[in-house]
Structure 1
């Protein structure tokens, strides 16, 4: 008889035990209350049918508490994803440009205005002095200077144009895609798009890559692009390990991932 009572008590409070964990305290409390009501169903006043009805309502509140717990987990994952996206955006060239623009929009103080006036005044004096000093150059000197400019300018232009890096100077090594799920209560698949960016250019530079996600039939599901090293240059012959997974949200049907280098520049 005692064993039957113990089993009955466990079954009566089973909805409350299932609802434990996470938020939803109100729903867990209501589940506990109706579990108690179901336990007193053995009394003639309540009756067996009333106890069963209270037990069913307790299960309903337990389900609502579990749903609240899952909503809390999804909200936590969303906050982590948004924090990672904000961190990447702050490190990206666009984020830096927006930050610089906000700084430039600040009102100019009186000290800055005074400094600008002093600088422009000194520059004006130097310009006037230089004009007076070079007002009467000889024709021979002018002709020789023109020849020097004609000789020097092409070499400078050539040196400037040669100091560039192209997208073809970069390669991605060991690119791999992986879907992992570290959530315990419910599924939360996340992408890891990792690889190493190698700089084959003779100068330190950075590259912009584009990743395209396709389904099994080759249809494009999503695309992202970004600078793996942000505004940092990769040394000649060196590699930079990256993970572009946080930029792309996993979607059902993603099978193949293609990566392309679309731009390069020297920061």
Structure 2
């Protein structure tokens, strides 16, 4: 019986560590969308910082939505700015997710939000 209890605790320990951090523990700071016209094409820059305010190292997934003037979502994509690396508590990672999108006429607003958290 003790062996089963110890095995269960060891099995669930990683889940408890994962539950310690949530999307609310991460913040997107200095998010600065920009459209850069190079003459032939328009490139999108979606720069910002992802900060970990959790007490343990973890990674966060960001969703970027691009909307038209009426608020209709034209495009939505998700990415892990730190890749498969955890961000230490109190640290930040810079990101630019613009390369994931192609410019289309009618793009009016750009939003970024944290949608998932994981410990690698």
**TM-score of the aligned structures, taking structure 1 as reference length:** 0.41
Deviation (angstroms), 1:265? 1.1
Deviation (angstroms), 1:214? 0.6
- Aligned CA RMSD, in angstroms, stands at 1.9
Match for residue 234 of structure 1?
87
Q: Secondary structure at the match of 2:83?
A: coil
Unaligned stretches of 5+ residues in structure 1 = 1-145
Match for residue 15 of structure 2?
161
2:68 equivalent to 1:212:
no
Match for residue 189 of structure 1?
42
Q: Could you report, residue by residue, the CA deviation over 1:99-155 in whole angstroms, capped at 9, with x for unpaired residues?
A: xxxxxxxxxxxxxxxxxxxxxxxxxxxxxxxxxxxxxxxxxxxxxxx3x33663565
Bigger relative contact order, structure 1 or 2 (CA pairs below 8 A, ≥6 apart) = 2
Deviation (angstroms), 1:170? 1.5
d(CA) in 2 for partners of 1:161 and 1:247? Answer: 31
Match for residue 97 of structure 2?
244
Bigger share in helix: 1
Unaligned stretches of 5+ residues in structure 2 = none
Equivalenced residues, count: 118
**TM-score of the aligned structures, taking structure 2 as reference length:** 0.85
d(CA) in 2 for partners of 1:209 and 1:167? Answer: 9
Q: Secondary structure at the match of 1:160?
A: helix
d(CA) in 2 for partners of 1:231 and 1:246? Answer: 19
> Which structure has the larger Rg over C-alpha atoms?
1
